[in-house]
């Protein structure tokens, strides 16, 4: 009888502790007040778009901070916009601010590659956002590879447009031949995009890179079309035939070069609610850049930033991005919560099972 009571007490104690730990899981999903997204303005990733709502009124210093806490930049002092509804001043408000080349502190820095943390702070309130340093490094590498492809695609477009405006077969073929090296560079850059996209997915399975992969497939299709046209131009002795294959913005290789950069604007459909939406994969390099930058968006929550991480380089070694550099999970990490809950459940099962064995042996 004593054994049964003892086992029951142990089991009840474990499940009692499990209740508050279960509530910790809820606490690990904090309220998200908005996002900070990186974008291109005068240069690559040199703009930051802050969009938050439902936060306490006041003037806040908005800053970006590196993963190791060694670098920071104050974007601006921003004021919360508080609305008045039906004569009642609301208790919370919003901030919609874009840090770009018109901002006083703008230096053209690649913000995405340098900063993975954000903070809104005044004397009374603090809101923050952070991303894992490894994720930020892989996303930054992806965006960089897409920009490399953009440079090659622009050069390709320039050579093909030169061919399109030429009036002799020889000059057309010269420009087309020059574009072949651009195609080679572009194909290498696109292959690097695919590798970088896979690397992003391997660092965080929750990151959706399908839009970028779809765009890569389209770009490869347009490249193949240009290669076929270039081959036809090189092999013909007819000026008219060469001009047809080179084409213009409305068709031929020139149109394909535009699509590589800008996608196909007329690719759309209507969804179930009647809204016009783009067909997946219809975009080009410019939309791929935006899609990649959105992967690095920071979610703004209330509270201080977690412990700084060690600086992180994706392909240049120097990993170790955990808190305290000990390989420990970060504060609020769901892995930690899940592990604790599983340990509690398994512990309870172990007590009950052991008790059952003891009772069985006694009988």
pLDDT in tens for each of the 363 residues of the chain? 555 555 555 555 554 554 454 444 445 578 999 999 999 999 999 999 999 999 999 999 999 999 999 999 999 999 999 988 888 888 999 999 999 999 999 999 999 999 999 999 999 999 999 999 999 999 999 999 999 999 999 999 999 999 999 999 999 999 999 999 999 999 999 999 999 999 999 999 999 999 999 999 999 999 999 999 999 999 999 999 999 999 998 899 999 999 999 998 766 667 778 777 766 557 899 999 999 999 999 999 999 999 887 655 545 554 444 433 333 344 344 444 454 555 555 555 555 555 555 555 555
In a domain, 230, yes or no: yes
Q: Are residues 311 and 182 in the same domain?
A: no
Asked if residue 231 lies in contact with residue 246, where contact means CB atoms within 8 angstroms, the answer is no
How far, CA to CA in Å, does 335 sit from each of 28, 159, 328, 331, 340?
Answer: 10, 52, 11, 10, 9
How far, CA to CA in Å, does 183 sit from each of 12, 244, 254?
Answer: 69, 20, 13
Q: Are residues 8 and 146 in the same domain?
A: no
- The neighbour count for residue 3, using CB atoms within 10 Å, is 11
Q: Are residues 279 and 351 in the same domain?
A: no
Rounded Cα–Cα distance for residues 195 and 141 (Å): 10
Q: Are residues 146 and 284 in the same domain?
A: yes
Partner residues linked to 268 by β-bridges:
278
In a domain, 263, yes or no: yes
User: What per-residue confidence (pLDDT) applies to 207?
Assistant: 95
> What's the token pair of residue 356?
């059952």
How many CA atoms lie less than 13 Å away from 105 in the CB half-sphere?
A: 15
In a domain, 136, yes or no: no
Q: Are residues 169 and 242 in the same domain?
A: yes
For residue 32, the SS3 value is: coil
Q: Are residues 247 and 158 in the same domain?
A: yes
Q: For 52, which DSSP code?
A: E
Q: Are residues 257 and 173 in the same domain?
A: yes
Residue span of the structural domain in which 190 resides = 142-289
Containing 135, the helix (H) or strand (E) segment is helix 133-165
Q: Are residues 146 and 285 in the same domain?
A: yes
Asked if residue 274 lies in contact with residue 11, where contact means CB atoms within 8 angstroms, the answer is no
Q: Which residue has the tokens 């990733």?
A: 45
Count: domains in the chain? 3
> Alpha carbon 246 to chain centroid distance?
36
In a domain, 137, yes or no: no
Q: Are residues 166 and 219 in the same domain?
A: yes
| Terminal CA-CA length for the chain | 12
Q: Is the dihedral of CA 345, 346, 347, 353 positive or negative?
A: positive
Q: Are residues 185 and 265 in the same domain?
A: yes
Q: Are residues 223 and 326 in the same domain?
A: no
- In DSSP notation, 78-106 reads EE-B--EETTEE-S-EEEEEEESTTSTT-
Within the chain, what is the greatest distance between any pair of CA atoms? 104
User: What value does the CA radius of gyration of the chain take, rounded to a whole number of Å?
Assistant: 28
In a domain, 81, yes or no: yes
In a domain, 56, yes or no: yes
Strands of the sheet with 126-130, listed across from one edge? 72-79, 59-65, 117-121, 126-130, 298-302, 34-39, 47-55, 93-99
In a domain, 309, yes or no: yes
For the chain, the helix, strand and coil percentages under 3-state DSSP, each to the nearest 5: 50, 20, 30
In a domain, 113, yes or no: yes
**Angle between the 2-27 and 334-362 helix axes, to the nearest 10 degrees?**
170
User: What per-residue confidence (pLDDT) applies to 281?
Assistant: 54
Partner residues linked to 78 by β-bridges:
60
Q: Are residues 98 and 157 in the same domain?
A: no
pTM over 0.85, yes/no: no
């Amino acid at each position: 009888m004593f054994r049964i009571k003892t086992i029951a007490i142990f089991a009840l104690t474990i499940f009692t502790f499990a209740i508050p730990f279960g509530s910790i899981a809820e606490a690990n999903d904090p309220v998200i007040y908005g996002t900070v997204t990186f974008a291109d303005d005068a240069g690559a990733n040199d703009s930051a778009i802050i969009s938050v709502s439902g936060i306490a009124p006041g003037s806040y210093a908005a800053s970006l901070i590196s993963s190791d806490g060694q670098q920071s930049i104050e974007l601006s002092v921003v004021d919360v916009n508080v609305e008045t509804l039906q004569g009642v001043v609301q208790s919370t408000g919003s901030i919609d601010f874009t840090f770009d080349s018109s901002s006083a502190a703008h230096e053209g820095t690649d913000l995405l590659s340098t900063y993975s943390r954000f903070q809104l702070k005044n004397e009374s309130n603090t809101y923050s956002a952070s991303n894992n340093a490894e994720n930020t490094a892989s996303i930054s590498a992806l965006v960089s590879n897409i920009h490399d492809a953009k440079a090659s695609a622009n050069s390709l477009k320039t050579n093909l447009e030169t061919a399109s405006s030429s009036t002799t077969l020889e000059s057309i073929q010269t420009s087309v031949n020059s574009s072949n090296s651009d195609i080679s560079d572009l194909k290498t850059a696109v292959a690097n995009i695919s590798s970088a996209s896979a690397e992003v997915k391997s660092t965080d399975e929750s990151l959706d890179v399908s839009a970028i992969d779809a765009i890569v497939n389209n770009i490869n299709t347009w490249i193949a079309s240009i290669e076929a046209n270039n081959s036809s131009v090189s092999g013909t002795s007819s000026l008219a035939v060469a001009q047809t294959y080179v084409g213009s913005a409305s068709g031929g290789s020139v149109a394909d070069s535009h699509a590589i950069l800008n996608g196909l604007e007329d690719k759309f459909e209507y969804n179930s609610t009647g809204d016009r939406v783009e067909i997946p994969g219809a975009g080009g390099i410019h939309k791929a850049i935006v899609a990649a930058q959105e992967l690095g968006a920071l979610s703004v929550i209330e509270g201080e930033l977690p412990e700084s991480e060690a600086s992180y380089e994706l392909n240049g070694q120097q990993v170790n991005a955990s808190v305290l550099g000990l390989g420990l999970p970060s504060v609020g990490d769901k892995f930690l919560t899940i592990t604790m809950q599983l340990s509690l459940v398994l512990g309870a099962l172990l007590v009950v099972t052991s008790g059952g064995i003891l009772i069985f042996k006694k009988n």
